[in-house]
Amino acid sequence: METASMPAPRDTAVGGLSPESADVASAPEADTCAEATFEEAVAALTETVNRAPLHREIFLKLLTFCTTQRTLAEAEEAVRACSEFPSVAQSPYRLVRTLVHAGGLYWLELDETGRPLTSQAKAGLTPDEIEDATFAYAVVTTPVGEQVAEDLAPEKRLRRLFDLVPQRLTTYLDLMDFCREKRTFKEIEALLRTRPAAAFASTTSSQPLQPSFFVDALERSGGLAWNDGWKITERGMKVLQQLR
């Protein structure tokens, strides 16, 4: 349901192994979904990704980045490089582990040759012996994670948003174009106040939409991100260039 929302408050390589070669047994957290169907696992991971809006785009970028096996250090660095990261309170390690527990990433223990320790290799070893045999850690996206990354890709979410009410398309695109540079909400509000009244007509209420509605909608769809100002995302820019 549409709401005439108030302004957003934030304005005041050990690589090379394919996913198929990763030993699932080396990622016990993934086993929590072992009895769920693929669809149920996708639904559960989707809920985790969407549960914290500040984390959503980081999770999706991480799932995409890790379709090729990455060392833990590489994955953590990818999180730090996200434009959304300065606004979150979680550490890169905790964000990675959240996706592991949710079934989006396999957690791999690597031996001194860089190969995953298989269940057979760990059979009969004590936890201390397994720890001694582990020289590094890596992650790789699971099939469930790949599906969620595809389903929630910003390009798809933005297209769905634009198709909902076609008369708002120009306003959305103008706002994204305006945010090629970081903008305050007041600057955005001044821009949007010049737009035709039709763009602010609600389909569910007699009250006109507020400028914050457009900002919130684009953020939820992956077109804008907050980092000391509202700015178009990299994938939002790709969509903008395709439609302009």
Q: pLDDT (tens digit, 9 = 90+) per residue, 170-179?
A: 999 999 999 9
pTM for the whole structure:
0.78
Tell me the percentage of the chain whose pLDDT exceeds 90. 64
For the segment 50-79, the average pLDDT, to the nearest whole number, is: 96
Residues 171, 215, single domain; the answer is yes
In a domain, 7, yes or no: no
Q: What's the whole-number mean pLDDT along residues 31-52?
A: 86
Question: Tell me, what's the pLDDT at 28?
Answer: 41
- HEC profile for the chain? CCCCCCCCHHHCCCCCCCHHHCCHHHCHHHHHHCCCCHHHHHHHHHHHHHHCHHHHHHHHHHHHHCCCCEEHHHHHHHHHCCCCHHHCCCCHHHHHHHHHHCCCEEEEEECCCCCECCHHHHCCCCHHHHHHHCCEEEEEECHHHHHHHHHCCHHHHHHHHHHHCHHHHHHHHHHHHHCCCCECHHHHHHHHCCCCHHHHCCCCCCCCCCHHHHHHHHHHCCCEEECCCEEECHHHHHHHHHHC
**Which of 151, 183, 198 is the last residue in one of the domains?**
151
For residues 4 and 83, the model is more confident at 83
Domain for residue 108, yes or no? yes
Range of the domain at 119: 13-151
CATH number at residue 205: 1.10.10
